[in-house]
Structure 1
């Protein structure tokens, strides 16, 4: 595909009283005006934050260091599968992190979350 739009998004963030400026660049195959480009970048980050935020909180994904062979990719697939299984289990009103912990402590809840009934 041919790039039709190059987008630069400048943002500011204050963390612990310190200001940080960021510039992120995007390339799109769609022609866009500024309003449509902003909407596209916001929806992109909404998806990123929803999925990766859940993975990072529930599994501390940002701190993992699996570097041999395909270990990182394989573990990422397993974490996403487990996250989806835990989201489907509505039997208890718990955070993803607490659901994960409960699976470690309670075999019945683990089997229920995996859809296994023994």
Structure 2
């Protein structure tokens, strides 16, 4: 697994952030870690992605709660467009024993998949316009939309976008039945 630390584990994320910052300030000598970096240029921008994989887990009080936890990960993305530079850091827990370069690629795939799903939910299913106020009901509706997107993607004719398949399913009962019974 490669699990992103965000608002879901605030204290743990703060502790991991602090630990990486400590080693940045005091040096990495004697620390079991790996580092990888990639740079891409294109479309008028430069993107530098750095990954530190640290296997120093002794300070984590909750480490036993994470089965097969092997390392802590920091990914720093630095993007320069024209004269403007932005920096973003993300932190992860991982069971992976692989090298930093592979973990860096894996983290990038994770965000690509998540961004693509959010785009589909927002554009095709108009998720942002949802008026559902109840938190549990809202979570249920998101799950229904995610399942619908998955089923429409699996529909085998290959004809049309998700939006056109969604519209067709509302008008064509045999097509809807075919989408719902795909195996």
Give the 5 Å matches for 1:35-54. Answer: 35-54=101-120
How far apart, in 2, do the equivalents of 1:38 and 1:92 lie?
Answer: 32
Return the offset for 1:74: 1.3
How far apart, in 2, do the equivalents of 1:29 and 1:90 lie?
Answer: 35
Residue 8 of structure 1 is matched in structure 2 by: 74
Structure with bigger helix share is: 1
Return the offset for 1:69: 4.6
Return the offset for 1:97: 1.7
How far apart, in 1, do the equivalents of 2:122 and 2:135 lie?
Answer: 22
Residue 139 of structure 2 is matched in structure 1 by: 73
Residue 107 of structure 1 is matched in structure 2 by: 172
Say if 1:79 and 1:24 are closer, same or farther in 2 by CA, change over 3 A. Answer: same
Q: 1:23 aligns with which of 80, 89, 98?
A: 89
TM-score by length of 2: 0.48
Say if 1:37 and 1:75 are closer, same or farther in 2 by CA, change over 3 A. Answer: same
For structure 2, which runs of at least 5 residues remain unmatched after alignment? 1-65
Give the 5 Å matches for 1:86-101. Answer: 86-91=152-157, 93-101=159-167
How far apart, in 2, do the equivalents of 1:46 and 1:26 lie?
Answer: 16
Whose radius of gyration is greater, 1 or 2?
A: 2
Aligned residue pair count? 113
Say if 1:62 and 1:4 are closer, same or farther in 2 by CA, change over 3 A. Answer: farther
Please provide the CA RMSD for this pair.
3.1
Matched-pair contact (CA < 8 Å) for 1:5–1:30: yes
For structure 1, which runs of at least 5 residues remain unmatched after alignment? none
Structure with bigger strand share is: 2
